[in-house]
Chains A and B, each alone.
Chain A
């Protein structure tokens, strides 16, 4: 086992190349200020979806409360950066958001993660709604339903890109490790996992907290990029939006979530000119995709660099032959 192998180099190249292409597109104006919003939305959606996929796809626990954790991250970072409008303030805000969210996830997770399937889903949905209502009612700190505005614009898109890569790395490293395998075992068969010595409560909670923490990062970056946040941004619908990305990409596939976030981002841009019909087309597309590809784009498989290399080798071999 080497620290640096073909796979890690491959992904590093993909990450850097992605950044350079985007940088080029922004400087040449291909990505206009308007499309930069789309870019950032996609990146934040990737962070959110990869985190939720860890909970749903890897630990097999059905959470519908992602927006709640995102809200905690957004408000914590938003409030802190309003007091300290510097990069130190931003990083402090993100850190505080992650810590606070992790604590809430721990408190929520321990009693509710005993619940199975849909019961857990509805409990987490309830938690997210409670978080939102608490934010609405903490008028003096959060400015209530009107929301928080004037949050310093500190997270430019390259910073968000870096955080996106780090989040993917975090989740990928976790899922491809011994604790990660124990977590996946819970998804596969909870009773068998427990009989093999896996402390199921512990690993469900770890996955839940890691997922919630990444939601907090996504929320914090959202607050710092868009400068305005309202409790209405973090409703059940937001959780559903993230869930759609996860299912569309393939439950249990990190690369699937990334691809799905990008494709749905493009679909959104493509549908803009349709005005009022936009959401109708989107809904029809959603139903159609699920009917024809219910396992999502990638199923639970990953898109790998080595797979890509194999594909290229085969193609070039065919070209020569």
Chain B
């Protein structure tokens, strides 16, 4: 039983990271119905920014985290304005291919400038282990929980209480109606990319710290998993992304601990397919029937 709770803690740490990335996926999808395949690479770039800030500029953890979030957010907005905005009226699949192009560009750009080798992330936080009721929690894990919690509360506040958040919800419900009500849809879309990318950047730094290593291809698998998490929870739906992220983090950790880590991903995808068959709109998503 103790191992189980221990694994739950590890699972929640991993799940926090997935949840942070999944939030960006889900918000962007909610607003422009785009599976932003470049999102996982923003997370990778975030990790590299954190690395550079700490390694080359001698920053501490929090300044590096905030810089990574800010620069990732700017990168997200820049990508949206240059690559996605001209395709506002194109088919969704064309935008999807563009997103894949952006993903390739970020990966190969980083490969070009930083090389393919795996770098070790400077350990700016000493990783003391705390023992609570026989369970071990590391300082980094606590940091991950705290950061994730703060960011989610902040996000919830922005989306629910601010004017921009209200506009975001309006655009995701009906973008043309929102436009008619005088909302500047383009700004709302950019702001959504800004928020989502900032969260992904934060996740990148946290992962660097947690797993100690970063490389230009590190965004591919977690990006895909985070997307799965978003769909699992109900894409376009913020609480769904969090629920999906934690579910996948915990499932992965438990399968690795009790079963065979080789089939870990297969279990994740298996659960995804089952959920989709039973509840096509995800766990928390609402199924909208087409009007005839």
Determine direct contact between A and B, CB below 8 Å: yes
Q: Which residues of A contact B (CB under 8 A)?
A: 56, 62, 111-112, 114-116, 118-119, 121-123, 125-127, 129-130, 133-134, 136-137, 191, 236, 240, 243-244, 247-248, 251, 276-277, 279-280, 282-284, 286-287, 290-291, 294-296
Q: Are A123 and B90 in contact (CB under 8 A)?
A: no
Q: 15 A–B contact pairs at CB < 8 A?
A: A114-B277, A119-B231, A122-B276, A127-B273, A133-B265, A191-B292, A244-B100, A247-B97, A287-B101, A290-B87, A290-B94, A291-B83, A294-B87, A294-B94, A295-B90
B 249-292 binary contact with A (CB < 8 Å = 1; else 0): 00000000000101101100110110011001100000000101
Q: Which residue of chain B is the closest to A237 with respect to CB atoms? A: B220
Q: Which residue of chain B is the closest to A248 with respect to CB atoms? A: B97
Task: Report the bound CA distance from A62 to B35 in whole Å.
Answer: 13
Task: Report the bound CA distance from A175 to B111 in whole Å.
Answer: 43
CB neighbours of A123 from chain B (8 A): 272-273, 276
Task: Report the bound CA distance from A265 to B35 in whole Å.
Answer: 27
Task: Report the bound CA distance from A282 to B93 in whole Å.
Answer: 18
- A-contacting residues, B82-97, CB 8 Å: 83, 86-87, 90-91, 93-95, 97
Q: Which residue of chain B is the closest to A288 with respect to CB atoms? A: B101
Q: Are B90 and A287 in contact (CB under 8 A)?
A: no
Q: Which residues of B contact A (CB under 8 A)?
A: 29, 33, 35, 83, 86-87, 90-91, 93-95, 97-98, 100-102, 104-105, 107-109, 111-112, 224, 227-228, 231, 235, 260, 262-263, 265-266, 269-270, 272-273, 276-277, 280-281, 290, 292
Q: Are A284 and B292 in contact (CB under 8 A)?
A: no
- When the two chains form the complex, which single residue of B35, B91, B94, B273 contacts A121, counting CB atoms closer than 8 Å? B35
Q: B-side binding surface: helix, strand, loop or mixed?
A: helix
Task: Report the bound CA distance from A295 to B83 in whole Å.
Answer: 16
Task: Report the bound CA distance from A121 to B273 in whole Å.
Answer: 11
Q: Are B263 and A133 in contact (CB under 8 A)?
A: yes
Q: Which residue of chain A is the closest to B93 with respect to CB atoms? A: A247
Q: Are B235 and A118 in contact (CB under 8 A)?
A: yes
Task: Report the bound CA distance from A133 to B292 in whole Å.
Answer: 42
Task: Report the bound CA distance from A112 to B29 in whole Å.
Answer: 21
Task: Report the bound CA distance from A248 to B292 in whole Å.
Answer: 33
Task: Report the bound CA distance from A131 to B29 in whole Å.
Answer: 27
Given A122-B228, A279-B108, residue A291 in contact with residue B87 (CB < 8 A):
yes
Q: Are A290 and B105 in contact (CB under 8 A)?
A: no
Q: Which residue of chain B is the closest to A62 with respect to CB atoms? A: B93
